[in-house]
C-alpha cells in the first residue's frame, strides 16, 4: 500500500495511537498534535476528497466525530473543538482525513483573513444563485 493514509487507516504503519476504529474508519492521535487529544479520523477505504465518500463511511466519520468530541471535552476541558478537513492540494496525506482539535482561548489556532482580497462578500447574492442553479441541475 503506497498511500500513507491507507496504511494508517488499516493499521499497517508502526507505532499508531489508535483510539477508536470500526470496519469503515480508524481514529488515531495526530503525531504532531496542535493540542493534546488532536485526533484524525480516516476511512479505511481510499478517498481523496469528501465528495467521493459513500454514505455509510461518511456517516461513520460524523458519528465518530460526535463521540470523540464528547470524550475530548470531558477529558481535556477545552474551550471548544475545531473540526476541519483539507481537500485537494491542501490534503497533505493525499487521503481524506478529518481533524478533531481541542481548542483553548489564546492557543494560536486561527482562521485568518485572505492574503489577497477577492470581494466575495460583495457577491453573496450572485454566488447563491450560481450554487442554487448548479444544485437544481443535478
Write out the catalytic residue numbers. 99
Q: Are 108 and 40 in contact (CB under 8 A)?
A: no
Q: Are 28 and 40 in contact (CB under 8 A)?
A: yes
C-alpha cell at 9: 487507516
19 — alpha (psi -120 to 50), left (phi > 0) or beta?
alpha
Would you call 95 helix, strand, or coil by DSSP? coil
Amino acid at each position: 500500500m503506497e498511500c500513507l493514509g491507507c496504511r494508517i487507516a488499516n493499521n499497517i504503519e508502526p507505532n499508531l495511537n489508535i483510539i477508536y476504529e470500526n470496519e469503515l474508519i480508524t481514529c488515531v492521535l495526530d503525531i504532531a498534535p496542535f493540542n493534546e487529544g488532536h485526533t484524525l479520523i480516516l476511512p479505511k477505504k481510499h478517498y481523496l476528497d469528501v465528495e467521493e465518500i459513500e454514505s455509510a463511511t461518511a456517516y461513520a466519520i460524523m458519528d465518530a466525530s460526535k463521540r470523540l468530541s464528547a470524550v475530548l471535552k470531558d477529558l481535556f476541558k477545552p474551550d471548544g473543538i475545531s473540526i476541519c478537513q483539507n481537500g485537494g492540494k491542501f490534503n497533505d496525506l493525499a487521503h481524506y482525513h478529518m481533524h478533531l482539535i481541542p481548542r483553548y482561548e489564546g492557543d494560536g489556532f486561527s482562521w485568518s483573513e485572505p492574503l489577497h482580497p477577492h470581494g466575495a462578500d460583495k457577491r453573496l447574492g450572485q454566488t447563491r444563485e450560481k450554487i442554487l442553479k448548479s444544485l437544481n441541475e443535478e
